[in-house]
Amino acid sequence: MTRLAGSWVGTAQVFKAVAIHYGWKHIVLLSDDDTDTICWYGAQPFEAMFGSDPDYMFYWLRIGSDPTDKELDAILQQIRSCTRGLYTS
């Protein structure tokens, strides 16, 4: 898990270099769902960088600014299933 901030397009390029270095293939981006915030503009370059690259599984999850505990649990479950897979016995 990595936390990033800012809307500079180079942030997505730097993150891709890190993903290549560590061999990450599943990328989950969690951001605010408000299209007028800096989070939205910071997420756009990630969509452009990873969204159409066949070498990556890219998921962009959007969450409101005041989520309930139940919504947070659902987001965590989505992150888990998108990155490592969800296994039940």
**Domain spans of the chain, in order of start:** 10-83
Taking a C-beta distance cutoff of 8 angstroms, is the pair 45, 9 a contact?
A: yes
pLDDT in the model for residue 16 = 92
Mean pLDDT by 10 residues, the chain (89 residues): 69 91 90 77 87 91 87 89 61
The predicted pLDDT at position 87 comes to 47
Predicted local distance difference test score (pLDDT) of residue 1: 65
Amino acid at 87: Y
**Is 86 in contact with 76 (CB distance < 8 Å)?**
no
Q: Is 61 helix (H, G, I), strand (E, B) or coil?
A: strand
